[in-house]
Chains A and B, each alone.
Chain A
Amino acid sequence: MSTSIDIRSVTKTYHRGGEALRVLDELELQMAGGTFYALMGPSGSGKTTLLNLIGGLDHADSGEVLVGDEDLTQLDGSALAQWRAENVGFIFQGFNLLPVLSARENVELPLLLAPLSKRQRREQAERALELVGLQDRMDHKPRELSGGQEQRVAIARAIASDPQIILADEPTGDLDRTTADSVLELLQRLNRELDKTILMVTHDPQAASYAGKVIHLDKGKLGRIDDNTAAARN
């Protein structure tokens, strides 16, 4: 069953240089499981902060962040780490691969946290890399891959442990148009074929067009949600 996300009156404030900056302001937002969401809005509107809260990378100051049945605001650092390992896959703009590990080893990283045998881990990592079309690049280090290939490795890592939610922060920001499109098609496939709930932060309307719904944030509050299902690229 796909996982829904429920944001209830969430506030997050950052303090910089003695100045308080309210990034999320009592935000209310419900997201259905198994949907591909794009999260848009001007810089400073709270997109990445919201993504981090949903991914358990950061704590809200107040409110509730419910992902499935779990209220993330009630979990401490260690419990959040375990929750992330079991439930979320992250894709970042800068790929965020460990440079000293090969593509396969990078993909195996989250699998080491699961109760799997060495053989199972290897098979699962290879399956994920095959899914993103990198079966012939498994032993390459990140520096030996192109930007698009690096992002594919990052996607393989995000899906390797079969999480229900995939969170992507500007995943195509560093890629050329053609490569970006192939990455976005891949995310779309993961949503359609594997029923993953995907939340993708982007500034790019063309990238957002791959999503089923587009959430617009403005100054830490929900602007509107566009239903893109019919128009979403195929």
Chain B
Amino acid sequence: MALVPFRYNLRSLFVRSSSTFLTILAIGATVAVLAGMLSLQQGFVTLFQERGRSDLAVFLRKGATSEGESGLTLEQCAQLTKEVPEVLRDANDRPLASAELFLAVRLRKFDGGETNVSIRGVEPMTFAIQGDDLRIADGKNFTPGSDELIVGKGLVSRIANCRVGDVLRINTVSFRIVGEFEGKGGYQSEIWGDLNRISEALQRPVRSRVIAKVQPGTDLAAIQTRYESDLRLQPAVQTERDYLASQTKRLSLTFQALGGFLALVMGLAAIFTGTNSLLSAISARTHEIGILKAVGYRPFAIFVSFLGEAVLLGICGGIVGCLMVLPFQGAETGTMNQTFSEVTFAFRTTPQVMVTAIVFAAMLGLVGGAFPAWRAARMTPTQALRRG
């Protein structure tokens, strides 16, 4: 079946440039909201996925879903760091395992108010385990056993008293900031110090977790089963990647749901705008529809012609929406994560986000254009010619 030449639709869009522009802009604004939320969600997910390693085992207390809830005794930590045979050892035959203490404390933000910031007490072995994933960007690393701290790069400009040389008070202990570190993922939103000094300052005699570098191909479920009957231990163990994925799941879903909701509400508005704009466009071109019909174009060809025009408007709106969010690419923002502590992450408009946004926009065009296209198709030639 012959279709109406697409250049007719294309040129008609140019002829009605103001109405075309406004429709594209309305769809673009809707798509920008969706793309923006998806970009935030991508930034958040990527933040943790980048950091998550599959060769690192994370041991928590059984039943704990995050290290904020977990609590391991010093004996349990000693046993896990020293006795699990799958844990790799360094050149000096020391196990590549480290106990860590994690707690969120209230600190003052530069822009006013307070927020929860993650404090992590670590052992020297943590740095060996992290290897190149962690780098001191400014100053130096803290000296083990001292009241020194290093601050993740993401916090320096957001949280007060976190610059190198500043003194940060945690409970009653004054710590000196000696370095700024950067690395993959969410560690950049944490403050690190010596495990024992942090434990004393926070008055927390337990540890939150043990991390250990394990042999490639280690079956962590088998480790968990092995220690299941050992009442002294009973750890919950998973790879760091899985652990972090479970930590971001809820917020990631929140971003998706929020983005979806906003896109739905604005999408409905855009559908009405698009429908209205196309209806007025069709009304202005009723006579031309009559001509096409008189010449011999079938109703279905007319339907496809106007629907195609609507989809084209949608796709253009989608591209405009993506262009609206692209300038924010890489911009950092912060939010509370699942452990209610401040986490900074970047806006990531990935190709996947853009494809999703443009497909969404095309769907907006399709839905918004269906009724006007149907109306154009069902007009008889004489009706259409007479109305013009």
For B, the interface residue count at a CB cutoff of 8 angstroms equals 25
A135 close to B (CB within 8 Å): no
A57-B380, A100-B11, A100-B15 as given contacts; A81 in contact with B298, CB under 8 Å = yes
A55 close to B (CB within 8 Å): yes
B293 close to A (CB within 8 Å): yes
A98-B288, A101-B8 as given contacts; A110 in contact with B296, CB under 8 Å = yes
- Give the residues in chain A near B2, CB-CB below 8 Å: 112-113
Scan residues 47-104 of chain A and give those whose CB is less than 8 A from a CB of chain B. 52, 55, 57-58, 77-78, 81-82, 84-86, 90, 92, 96-101
- Give the residues in chain A near B290, CB-CB below 8 Å: 96
A196 close to B (CB within 8 Å): no
B292 touches A58 (CB 8 A): no
A105-B7, A112-B2 as given contacts; A157 in contact with B295, CB under 8 Å = yes
B382 touches A52 (CB 8 A): yes
Taking the closest CB of chain A, its distance from the CB of B305, in whole angstroms, is 12
A109 close to B (CB within 8 Å): yes
B381 touches A85 (CB 8 A): no
B295 touches A85 (CB 8 A): yes
A90 touches B294 (CB 8 A): yes
Q: Is the interface on chain A under 10, 10 to 19, 20 to 34, or 35 or more residues?
A: 20 to 34
Closest to B378 in A: A77
B12 close to A (CB within 8 Å): yes
CA distance A86 to B295 in the complex (A): 9
Scan residues 102-118 of chain A and give those whose CB is less than 8 A from a CB of chain B. 105, 108-110, 112-113
CA distance A84 to B14 in the complex (A): 30
B299 close to A (CB within 8 Å): yes
- Give the residues in chain B near A100, CB-CB below 8 Å: 8, 11-12, 14-15
Closest to A76 in B: B299
B385 close to A (CB within 8 Å): yes
B8 touches A98 (CB 8 A): yes
B297 close to A (CB within 8 Å): yes
- Give the residues in chain B near A101, CB-CB below 8 Å: 5, 7-8, 11
Taking the closest CB of chain A, its distance from the CB of B299, in whole angstroms, is 6
B127 close to A (CB within 8 Å): no
CA distance A113 to B300 in the complex (A): 13
- Give the residues in chain B near A109, CB-CB below 8 Å: 5, 292, 295
B295 touches A90 (CB 8 A): yes
Closest 8 A-B residue pairs measured CB to CB? A85-B296, A100-B11, A81-B298, A57-B381, A84-B296, A113-B2, A96-B291, A58-B382
Taking the closest CB of chain A, its distance from the CB of B18, in whole angstroms, is 16
B15 touches A99 (CB 8 A): yes
B287 close to A (CB within 8 Å): yes
Q: Mark B4-37, 1 if CB is under 8 A from A, else 0.
A: 0101100110110000000000000000000000
CA distance A108 to B4 in the complex (A): 11
Taking the closest CB of chain A, its distance from the CB of B19, in whole angstroms, is 14
- Give the residues in chain B near A157, CB-CB below 8 Å: 295
CA distance A52 to B294 in the complex (A): 10
CA distance A77 to B377 in the complex (A): 10
B296 touches A113 (CB 8 A): yes
Closest to B14 in A: A100
Taking the closest CB of chain B, its distance from the CB of A108, in whole angstroms, is 8
CA distance A157 to B291 in the complex (A): 11
- Give the residues in chain A near B292, CB-CB below 8 Å: 98, 109
A/B interface sample: 12 pairs, CB < 8 A: A52-B382, A55-B294, A57-B385, A81-B293, A82-B296, A99-B288, A100-B15, A101-B7, A109-B292, A110-B296, A113-B2, A113-B296
B299 touches A96 (CB 8 A): no
Closest to A98 in B: B288
Tell which of A78, A100, A105 has the most Cβ of chain B within 10 Å. A100
- Give the residues in chain B near A110, CB-CB below 8 Å: 295-296
A100-B8, A110-B296, A113-B297 as given contacts; A58 in contact with B291, CB under 8 Å = no
Scan residues 209-230 of chain B and give those whose CB is less than 8 A from a CB of chain A. none
B291 touches A98 (CB 8 A): yes
Tell which of B5, B292, B296 has the most Cβ of chain A within 10 Å. B296
- Give the residues in chain A near B8, CB-CB below 8 Å: 98, 100-101
- Give the residues in chain B near A90, CB-CB below 8 Å: 294-295
- Give the residues in chain A near B300, CB-CB below 8 Å: 78
